[in-house]
Amino acid sequence: METIILILDKYNLPWLLLAIITWLILFFSCSYKCFLQGLPVGIFTMITGASLEQFFISHKFWKEKFILVKIGELDLFLVTGPLLVIGILLIRFLPKSRLGMFLAILAWSSLATGIEFIALKLGFLAYHSEKWSSLHSLTGYFLYLLSALGLYYILSNKKQVDL
């Protein structure tokens, strides 16, 4: 495990590896039609997530390390990997019931917070503990995905009315 961390550290690859893993999950879980259906939400989560991350980094809530291709203070592979894919997967696996949707958003938020926790433990991310904690991240991801779901319903209702 230490050898893997040293390789990821030496070549600044952790965010690239995370992007590859998320894209593989997306590739094996979505059809082309499903991908296109979730793409607007994925673009929304990518832009919104990158904006929020940039804000939190610039205001010293946390610091990302080992950036390979910089976009501001973020890595390109973080933006085009998990931040894009989480929106598409949210729509792909969205239950029909309101309780199911609430639980799905909570589950995806927990997964994102868990990935963040792993990045913290491996040293690829650092919180400024007086300003930020995992509970802040969980709440932030929940609200972030809830707004993505709102966009999805706006877009899907517009399509139904236009027909």
Measured torsion, CA atoms of residues 68, 72, 77, 81, in degrees rounded to the nearest 10: 160
In the predicted structure, residue 68 carries a pLDDT above the cut 80:
no
The total number of structural domains in the chain stands at 1
Per-residue pLDDT tens over the stretch 75-118:
788 889 999 999 999 999 999 999 999 999 999 999 999 998 98
4-25: b (≥16 Cβ within 10 Å) or e: eeeebeeebbbbbebbeebbee
152, amino acid identity:
Y
Mean pLDDT over 134-157 rounds to 93
Judge if pTM exceeds 0.95: no
CB-based burial label for 161 (10 Å; 0-12, 13-18, 19+): exposed
- What residues contact residue 16 under an 8 Å CB cut-off, 6+ apart? 68, 75, 77, 81
pLDDT value of residue 163: 40
| Exposure of 58 in the CB half-sphere (CA atoms within 13 A) | 10
pLDDT value of residue 161: 47
37-52: b (≥16 Cβ within 10 Å) or e: bbebbbebbbebbbee
Print the domain residue range for 62.
Answer: 2-162
Mean pLDDT over 118-131 rounds to 84
Mean pLDDT over 55-84 rounds to 80
Confidence of residue 160 (pLDDT cuts 50, 70, 90): low
Distance, CA of 81 to CA of 69 (rounded, Å):
13
In the predicted structure, residue 148 carries a pLDDT above the cut 70:
yes
Mean pLDDT over 145-152 rounds to 95
In the predicted structure, residue 1 carries a pLDDT above the cut 90:
no
**In the structure encoding, which two tokens stand for residue 37, read together?**
């259906």
